[in-house]
Structure 1
Amino acid sequence: MHHPLFLNNAQEPDVDFDWAPSPSNQRSGYWTVPIERRLPVVNLLREANVKTVFAGHWHRNHQASDNGLDVVVTSALGLPLGDDPSGYRVVNVSEQLLSHRFQAL
């Protein structure tokens, strides 16, 4: 998905974190899916036994986990924010394992 479901946990309110402030012209919690949309999606993912969701939008590398659901955010290829370099994420999926790594350019 484009927007991360959450940056800290699924129940986080639509507020900014000191380490993830929203742009001045956007709503608080701009980097994530708003909670009223997030919680139904999180519930569906859990019912389907989804363990990992990959996202972008924040243009930084970040991982968060909530009750067995991992959100992996990948930095941007063209306009990374913060200290993360340009790059992409390589994801390997098998019947037994899902692994991923960030590949800087």
Structure 2
Amino acid sequence: MYKIHECDFLPAGGISIVFSDSIIDSDKAIWSLLIEREATEEELEDNHYLENVGDTIWQTVLEIYNCPFCGQTLSSERAKNAAGNFAHIDSSGWDSKRL
């Protein structure tokens, strides 16, 4: 399952709010704030592992329950002490690394 939160206050470029079970290692789908950096023409010249403008260089994903931009409640199923699960994925090299 994959959904995107449509928010009028969401900053342009590189930030999205998604509902998925595949971004953070989870056995259930969760809402996550996804921040990613995409390659520019200059970065392609500096890094021979990147192939195209727009390739993802890195992503940081944080589990959330409310939209931090508009305040809308996204999930009412809060697991005690589970908020704040996160992952950082570096895709700037030959293979992606989860840090």
Assess same fold via TM > 0.5.
Answer: no
Higher helix share: 1
Q: Which structure has greater strand proportion?
A: 2
TM-score normalised by the chain length of structure 2: 0.31
Q: TM-score, normalised by structure 1?
A: 0.30
Structure whose CA Rg is larger: 2
